[in-house]
Structures are given as structure tokens and as C-alpha cells.
Structure 1
Amino acid sequence: MRDYIYLIVAQTGTRPARFFKFCTKKPFNHVSLSGDVDLSEMYSFCRTYKPFPLPATFNKEIVGQGTLGQYHNIPCEIYQISVTLEQKEAYNKLISHFAQHRKVYSYNLLGLLAVYFNIEWKRERSFVCSQFVAYIMDKIGIPLDKAFSLYTPDDFRNFPGASLIYAGELNTFYYTRKSQLYT
């Protein structure tokens, strides 16, 4: 039997996001994970308080709230990855671990430069969003093409085994799915 994990690559519109987009020339600057297609639980390494880029750490992201609530137009692509039940269980355990121990993790600010210059630099308890997502994939047994510390959000647009299920605006996807559940 199979289950799924979802990758959400997005462009939020924050000042740092616009700066990263300018520097990388890529359409998306952020990536999150979800264990369900309704995106009721999305996780990533990102800002903790919506007005400030720092501090940042592991956070649960909720469409329409926090940073994702600041913008009415969040371009995104959502990818589905088929996983075994064992991999999904490992995913849930890792997410639970990060949630329970989020205070020991931090945002890998220096890692942004390392990723930009394609320098492999693994920090034990510090991640940027793309490093976190690649780390989770690696830990649940999904093969990576390179070290998890080198992943960028754009890399997940061509992630092996990922199928594009949606390209458009994040709020539209989320609220359409939500309304379909209750009708």
C-alpha cells in the first residue's frame, strides 16, 4: 500500500523572498512539506513572527495565517511524492521530533550563502527550508541527487518521483480544497 507526501514550492512576496528571487532568477524561493493534499499541516524552516525575518526555525505553516496570511497572491507549485506506509510513518515521526524540539533548531542563515555558492556545509541543528525538506526526504529513504545541504527550492521542481498536481495560487488551491471537503 502507498501514501503521499506533498512538496509546496512558493514565492511569498516578503522582502527577503523578493531579494532571493532577484539573486537566483528563479520563480520560487520557499519550499514546505505536507503530509496531506489539503495542506492542513505544512512544515518548513521559516520566520517565527510574520513582521520579522528572524528569528526563524522549524514552524508549522498555515495558509491564511502568519506570513502566508499577509499575501493574497502566493504563486506556487504542489508536487506529490508516492511513499510507502513505512516512509510515511518515518515522516510523521520526524515531523513530530522537530515539533517537540523546535527550540534547539535554528535557521541556517550562513547556509544561504553556502547553498548560493554550491558549497556543501551541513550544520547539525540548523537548516534553510530546502535543506530541511531534502533532509527529511533523505531520512525517510527517498534518494537524493546531491547532499541535502545543497538543495534549493527550485531543485524540488524536478525532484525524482515528484508529480506536479497543481500550479497556480496557493490560497486558491487551499480554499478550494477546503470548500470541497465541506460540501
Structure 2
Amino acid sequence: MRDLVTQRKFMNLVIWVVLAGMAFFGNLPIFILVYAFLAVLMILRTLLGRALKRTKATTIIVYLLIMVLQFSFSSAVIFRHHIYFGAGFLSRVLGALLVLTPLLAERMLIIHQDTDFYLPSIREAATLSFSEFNSQKEGVIHYIHELGKVKKAIAVDRLMPLFTDLKRHSSMRYINGGSLTESYFDSVVATMTDPYIYLVISNTGSNASELISLFTQKQYNHASLSFDRDLQTIISYNGGENVYPPGLNPEMVTAFHQKSDASVLVYRLPTTLAQKQQIADKIREINQTGSAYNIIGLVVKHSLRPNIMFCSQFVYQMLRISGLTYFTKADGNVKPTDFIELDYYKKLDFCYEIKF
């Protein structure tokens, strides 16, 4: 036990020495080599661990995505020309700390899995039969397919608009207010005789949606709310499509058509007039107080202020305040597909699907 503790202390010391060296003396090639080396090491560790295949696949995808983001961040931010004195050093410190990101991801994704890391002996490696390899064929094909999705989602032409768009966001303060007009609320009032609220789950194909799908492993990655069946009052938390600031915004179904196989699923949930009015009142309050899209919450699952949310978090909160929730989950952990998959009591009625 004492030897194990000593080894851990030594490894921690080595890690901090490496991080300090990167912060003081690192350059772009060194940062990229360290990022790549750790990514390969973590992928190997995952492959030889004992986690479920799906967990392994998800974890490997996350490591690859983190590595690409580290490469992009280091070249675009850390080693750019800095005007202010000391900014370069502070950037390198941040870049050095980013080395720990895969370790944090591992802890989040497979903390409950027994993933002891061991290398097979030469004898064990030599006894791998063709039948054993063939039995893993489907898994290999799945990994190749997932890597293809990763390559597509993290292509430069997809990532650059996302990085450029980050400057429009704020996870600390409200930046959106009044995007819903009085004519919108007049339309909501006209729907009050409709005894349903409508949940809209969409597969849009947007750059953000494709990137989120790498983490959720789901096809549908956006959730919206509508007061009417024809979706004339559809709203959600989104990026604003460069028309409004990110936050609570009206939506148009035609904007969901961002890839050839985009689709929209529409469900209805029975509600009373009082419950529907509660949701409308809360939306009006958010519209007046202000809002922002919870882009950091997609990772940390937490909001710094009440009206800073992402799409599924918003829909779940609207159902919760009106007493319409039919499953229990922390709102920061709710995925768009949860509204369908966790409907154990069959509260939802399927209305229709839109295919473009």
C-alpha cells in the first residue's frame, strides 16, 4: 500500500512538472505532441479496460473531439500574437491545464466502471483467434462508423462557425430580451382553447446539433415548445440564427432544414387552461427579464443564473413549473430524447412527423 501511495505521489509530481514546463517553455509543437500523446494513451487505456462497448465508443469519441479542440484552441488562441504583456504566459498556463481535460472526461464518463488498465502478455496476444476477431467485427464496424461521424462533425468548415459564434454567447449575464413580441403573445392567447401543449423534438443537422450528437449519441438533439399544433407559436432556447442574441427565441420550422435527412417529431401533452397560462406567463417573464443560452451548461450541467438555459432544460422547466412533468431528472441533465424515451406512463400522444 505504501509503495502504491508513493507511486501515485511520484506520478502527480511528474504531471505537475510537465504542466509547469509547458507553461514556461512550451511552444505549439510541444503542446500538440503532449495533447496527441495523452489522447493516444487514454484511447489505449479505454480499449483495454472493462467498460461496456458503448461506453468505450463514446469515451473514445470524446477523447478525439477533445484532442481536436485542443489543437484548434492552441493554434488559434494560445500561440497567437498577444498585445498585452503577460497574456502569452497566461495563455500557456491555460493550455497546460487543458492537458487534464481527457482525465476529467474519463472520470465523468466511466467513473462507475471497473476499468483496470493492463497490457496483454505476448502469450495472450498470440492466442487471439480468428473467430474471436470475427466476433468483434460488428464492434469494429461501429467504431469506424462513429469515427466517420466524428470526422464530419469536427471538420474545419463546421467547427470554425461554432468558434466564431462563441463571442455572441454569455453564460454569466442575460443578453437576450424582448425577442418575443406582443403579436406573439396574442397568438398564444388564441391557442388557450386548445387543451394541449406541444413538444417538438428535431434533428436539424446544424453544426451545433451534429457536435452535440457526439456526446448524446442521439439522432434528435433539439427540443422546442409550441402552444398550437401547427407550430405557429414554437419557441425554444437557441442561437438566434444571427437575428436575435442567443437565448429564448421564436423559431420557424423551415430553419430546421439544415441537412437532407432533417426531421421533426411533434407530440402533444394534455394540459389545463391554468397550466397552459402558467407556461405563457413564465415565458413572458423570461422575455422581459432577459435570457442567454447555457452553452457551458451543455458540459457542466449547471446554470449560473435562472434564465440561462439550453433547449431541453428550458422545455423541462416549463413542464415542471406547470406541474406537467412525467419523469424526474435534474434539468441540467435532460436531453431532448428524454421527453420521448422516459415517457413510461404514455403521457404523450404522437401527432406527426415532418420530413424535408
Alignment length, in residue pairs?
159
Q: Which has the higher helix share?
A: 2
C-alpha separation in 1, matches of 2:334 and 2:246: 18
Please report how far the alpha carbon of residue 168 of structure 1 lies from its aligned counterpart in structure 2 after TM superposition.
4.0
Please report how far the alpha carbon of residue 27 of structure 1 lies from its aligned counterpart in structure 2 after TM superposition.
1.2
1:96 paired to 2:284? yes
Q: 1:109 aligns with which of 295, 299, 304?
A: 295
Change (3 A) 1:93 1:133: same
Q: Which has the higher strand share?
A: 1
> Does the 8 A contact of 2:294 with 2:303 survive in 1?
no
> Does the 8 A contact of 2:224 with 2:315 survive in 1?
yes
SS of structure 2 residue aligned to 1:132: helix
Q: 1:125 aligns with which of 294, 298, 307?
A: 307
Please report how far the alpha carbon of residue 146 of structure 1 lies from its aligned counterpart in structure 2 after TM superposition.
1.4
Change (3 A) 1:55 1:85: closer
> Does the 8 A contact of 1:57 with 1:106 survive in 2?
yes
> Does the 8 A contact of 2:222 with 2:312 survive in 1?
yes
Name 1:136's counterpart in structure 2. 318
Please report how far the alpha carbon of residue 19 of structure 1 lies from its aligned counterpart in structure 2 after TM superposition.
1.3
> Does the 8 A contact of 1:134 with 1:151 survive in 2?
yes
Give the greater-gyration-radius structure (CA): 2
Question: What percent of counterpart residues are identical?
Answer: 28
Name 1:118's counterpart in structure 2. none
Q: 2:337 aligns with which of 151, 154, 173?
A: 154
> Does the 8 A contact of 1:46 with 1:129 survive in 2?
yes
C-alpha separation in 2, matches of 1:159 and 1:40: 27
C-alpha separation in 2, matches of 1:152 and 1:11: 13
Q: Which amino acid aligns with 2:214?
A: F
SS of structure 2 residue aligned to 1:99: helix
C-alpha separation in 1, matches of 2:318 and 2:220: 20
SS of structure 1 residue aligned to 2:224: strand
Q: 1:74 aligns with which of 256, 262, 267?
A: 262
> Does the 8 A contact of 2:203 with 2:256 survive in 1?
no
C-alpha separation in 2, matches of 1:100 and 1:69: 30
SS of structure 2 residue aligned to 1:95: helix
C-alpha separation in 1, matches of 2:231 and 2:246: 21
Alignment of 1:30-109 (within 5 A): 30-50=222-242, 55-64=245-254, 67-68=255-256, 73-101=261-289, 104-109=290-295
Name 2:350's counterpart in structure 1. 164
C-alpha separation in 2, matches of 1:110 and 1:154: 20
Task: Show structure 2 runs of 5+ residues with no match.
Answer: 1-192
Change (3 A) 1:72 1:96: farther
Q: Which runs of 4+ in 1 moved over 6 A?
A: none
> Does the 8 A contact of 1:138 with 1:148 survive in 2?
no
The TM-score, its normalising length taken from structure 1, stands at: 0.76
Change (3 A) 1:167 1:68: closer
Please report how far the alpha carbon of residue 128 of structure 1 lies from its aligned counterpart in structure 2 after TM superposition.
0.5
Q: 1:17 aligns with which of 181, 191, 209?
A: 209
Change (3 A) 1:141 1:2: farther
Change (3 A) 1:96 1:73: farther
Please report how far the alpha carbon of residue 164 of structure 1 lies from its aligned counterpart in structure 2 after TM superposition.
1.6
> Does the 8 A contact of 1:4 with 1:35 survive in 2?
yes
Please report how far the alpha carbon of residue 68 of structure 1 lies from its aligned counterpart in structure 2 after TM superposition.
3.2
